[in-house]
């Protein structure tokens, strides 16, 4: 039985007192003197999947079908028509602070929140506190296969579900371009159980931002469309909020698409905007959100832990209270920087279980309006935090503001060694994760091969059973005689025909199963070629992978040849059985004609005996009693034979 979720709502003043006390006891996410060790320059690939096919399908649907989709999955369909400003996203990544899981624009902290993403997506049929918890399965499904399924599936509800799956796999979680990972399939199935997708979406967005910022490069695999809408919404100036924005039918994403936004803005221009951003330049509360409470912690954590599809992370909503028109006070951020992890290695499952347990008790804070936007102690804390880290848009390496003398050569060498050590540690972590993914790929391919071997063994067993049945049939034909009646012969033939139909059906099913296995192996072969091309620069590991791919190709050809031979032999046996049945029916007809002839002969003989019996009765009456004794015995025998013969007439 699923545990219930406890929701606790507390006053703003109570939470403020708790947060201040917790921050004093546990400190900040980064302690004083900690060096961030972030690269000076960041280059991020924000390339997206081609969504023209999905847009075409959406435009072909009528209003009823779109209504069914929106009722089930909210407004996620609008994401396929949102243009991603790659220059904007690349500039934003440069200002991401992995230690606090927020954007630091000049001296202002901002980050996407669960409440904001939930308001954008408008997914109503979910439980707010029910999060997704599942181990990853690194397999993929091709985009082309999914597109064909959406267009050709006869059931409208199935088409709607496949379309939503395509959006989640290609837009919201685009980890592999033009493919959908199997982890997305499992996540999508759990949506039917009322799982809230927003924490998972935020987790993968935060993890991707942190990875790109730490490494200084990489592919952004979060939902770029939602991040694009979120940041521009905080520059959405509205003098007076229109009445229709308070309506439940108001769709923020649809309103965003109708509004004109800046185009062709360079990355350097966005960097300059963020670098000089002031509090009065920001629309702190987006025009489309009206929350009354804020989720600020779960269970025993001092903030909100998030589980994604491939890892976990935490974020502190109390850090960005101004995004909800509430007064900002000092947030509790202790141990936040050390919380991020991936689904690999020892002990990660315990952390997953701990997070799932934390979400059984969620804490909300009532939002309160004040004349000032932040407290005085927060202003002091914020200035001290920034000055201790010295993180800017071009150089995130923290420096000591009290160091006035030039560093010695030994100190410079030590700092250089620390940077190289941190870089090597990041590279090692990346290689370990890639190695883990490759091991999983090999295990999956091994299980696929074993499955094909089992199916081939089943086909061989079925063929052996067919041989035995054929042998039994031949023995039956050889040993059959005239002792059976016509009804018995017909019943036996009917049983044989039924057995033949059973084996034909079973053979057809095995043929279809073998064909599906062959198609699956061909698809996995194509995926392995893609993996080989991607990791060509890692010679030692890739040579082993290429050898395994070649073995799988040879095994595929061998299994395909065996399956072709088995199917050919099965077809020959079926033809032979048909010929045997025809011959058997001819023999049966001939025997039936012989039986009819013999029965007619017996009937004629019986008629003659009956006639002799009647004549014997007449003769016995014509002779006088004195002469009857000599022929009485003969006449009595004739009468008895006549009585017996009457049964055959």
SS3 of 502-551:
HHHHHHHHHHHHHHHHHHHHHHHHHHHHHHHHHCCCCHHHHHHHHHHHHH
Cα–Cα distance, 156 to 149 (Å, whole number): 11
Q: Give the pLDDT score at 150.
A: 53
Q: How far is CA 480 from CA 484, 495, 587, 606, in A?
A: 8, 15, 11, 29
Per-10-residue mean pLDDT, the chain, length 649: 81 94 88 66 88 92 92 94 94 93 93 95 84 62 50 72 93 89 89 92 96 91 96 82 66 92 90 92 90 93 95 95 92 91 86 93 90 86 63 37 41 66 72 70 75 81 80 73 63 76 78 78 74 66 76 84 86 85 86 85 79 74 63 70 67
Q: In 3-state terms, what secondary structure has residue 298?
A: strand
Strand partners, 304: 315
Q: Closest by alpha carbon to 298, among 132, 129, 178, 457?
A: 129
Paired sense of beta strands 102-105 and 108-110, if any: antiparallel
Cα–Cα distance, 186 to 309 (Å, whole number): 9
Cα–Cα distance, 336 to 305 (Å, whole number): 9
Outline where 535-624 has alpha helix (H). 539-622
Q: Are 377 and 368 in contact (CB under 8 A)?
A: no
Cα–chain center distance at 478? 58
| Domain regions of the chain by residue span | 431-593
Q: How far is CA 38 from CA 88, 277, 419, in A?
A: 20, 22, 9
Cα–Cα distance, 315 to 209 (Å, whole number): 13
Q: Give the pLDDT score at 559.
A: 84
Tokens of 200: 């998972």
CB atoms within 10 A of CB 84: 19
Q: Give the pLDDT score at 400.
A: 31
| E strand spans, 280-407 | 293-298, 304-307, 311-315, 341-342, 361-366
Q: Are 614 and 588 in contact (CB under 8 A)?
A: no
Cα–Cα distance, 558 to 549 (Å, whole number): 14
Q: Give the pLDDT score at 272.
A: 93
Cα–Cα distance, 169 to 184 (Å, whole number): 6
Q: Give the pLDDT score at 628.
A: 56
Sign of CA dihedral 540, 545, 550, 551: positive
Q: Give the pLDDT score at 416.
A: 67
Tokens of 15: 């939470």
In the 8-state DSSP scheme, what is residue 421?
Answer: H
């Amino acid at each position: 039985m699923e545990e219930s979720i406890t929701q606790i709502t507390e006053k703003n003043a109570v939470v403020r007192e708790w947060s201040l006390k917790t921050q004093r006891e546990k400190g900040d996410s980064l302690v004083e003197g900690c060096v961030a060790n972030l690269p000076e320059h960041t280059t991020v690939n924000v390339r997206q999947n081609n969504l023209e096919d999905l847009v075409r399908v959406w435009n072909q649907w009528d209003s009823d079908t779109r209504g069914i989709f929106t009722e089930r999955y909210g407004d996620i369909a609008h994401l396929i028509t949102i243009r991603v400003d790659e220059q904007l996203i690349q500039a934003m990544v440069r200002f991401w602070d992995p230690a606090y899981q927020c954007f630091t624009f000049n001296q202002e902290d901002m980050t996407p929140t669960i409440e904001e993403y939930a308001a954008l997506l408008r997914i109503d049929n979910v439980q707010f506190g029910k999060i997704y918890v599942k181990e990853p399965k690194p397999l993929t499904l091709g985009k082309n296969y999914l597109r064909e399924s959406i267009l050709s599936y006869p059931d409208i509800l199935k088409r709607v579900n496949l379309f939503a799956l395509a959006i989640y796999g290609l837009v919201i979680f685009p980890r592999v371009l033009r493919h959908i990972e199997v982890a997305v399939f499992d996540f999508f199935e759990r949506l039917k159980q009322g799982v809230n997708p927003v924490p998972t979406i935020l987790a993968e967005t935060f993890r991707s931002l942190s990875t790109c910022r730490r490494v200084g490069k990489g592919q952004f695999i979060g939902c770029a469309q939602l991040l694009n809408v979120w940041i521009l919404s905080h520059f959405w100036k509205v003098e007076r909020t229109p009445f229709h924005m308070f309506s439940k039918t108001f769709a923020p994403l649809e309103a965003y698409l109708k509004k004109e936004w800046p185009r062709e803005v360079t990355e350097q221009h966005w960097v300059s905007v963020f670098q000089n951003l002031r509090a009065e330049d920001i629309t702190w509360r987006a025009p489309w959100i009206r929350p009354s409470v804020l989720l600020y912690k779960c269970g025993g954590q001092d903030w909100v832990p998030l589980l994604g599809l491939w890892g976990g992370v935490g974020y502190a909503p109390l850090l960005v209270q101004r995004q909800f028109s509430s007064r900002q006070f000092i947030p509790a951020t202790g141990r936040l920087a050390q919380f991020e992890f991936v689904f690999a290695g020892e002990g990660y499952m315990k952390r997953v279980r701990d997070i799932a347990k934390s979400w059984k008790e969620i804490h909300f804070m009532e939002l309160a309006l004040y004349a000032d936007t932040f407290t005085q102690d927060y202003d002091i804390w914020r200035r001290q935090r920034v000055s201790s880290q010295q993180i800017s848009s071009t150089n995130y390496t923290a420096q000591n503001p009290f160091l006035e003398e030039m560093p010695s050569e030994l100190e410079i060498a030590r700092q250089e060694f620390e940077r190289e050590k941190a870089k090597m540690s990041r590279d090692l972590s990346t290689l370990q994760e890639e190695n883990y993914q490759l091991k999983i790929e090999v295990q999956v391919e091994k299980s696929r091969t074993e499955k094909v071997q089992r199916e081939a063994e089943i086909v061989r067993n079925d063929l052996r059973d067919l041989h035995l049945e054929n042998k039994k049939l031949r023995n039956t034909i050889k040993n059959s005689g005239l002792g059976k009646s016509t009804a018995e012969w017909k019943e036996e033939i009917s049983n044989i025909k039924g057995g033949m139909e059973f084996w034909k059906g079973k053979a057809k099913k095995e043929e279809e199963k073998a064909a599906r296995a062959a198609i699956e192996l061909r698809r996995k072969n194509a995926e392995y070629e893609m993996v080989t091309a991607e990791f060509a620069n890692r010679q030692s590991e890739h040579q082993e992978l290429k050898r395994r791919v070649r073995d799988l190709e040879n095994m595929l050809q061998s299994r395909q040849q065996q399956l072709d031979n088995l199917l050919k032999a099965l077809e020959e046996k079926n033809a032979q059985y048909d010929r045997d049945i025809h011959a058997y029916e001819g023999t049966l007809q001939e025997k039936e004609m012989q039986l009819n002839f013999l029965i007619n002969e017996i009937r004629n003989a019986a008629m003659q005996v009956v006639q002799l019996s009647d004549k014997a009765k007449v003769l016995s009456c014509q002779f006088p009693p004195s002469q009857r004794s000599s022929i009485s015995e003969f006449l009595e025998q004739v009468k008895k034979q006549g009585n017996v013969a009457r049964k055959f007439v």
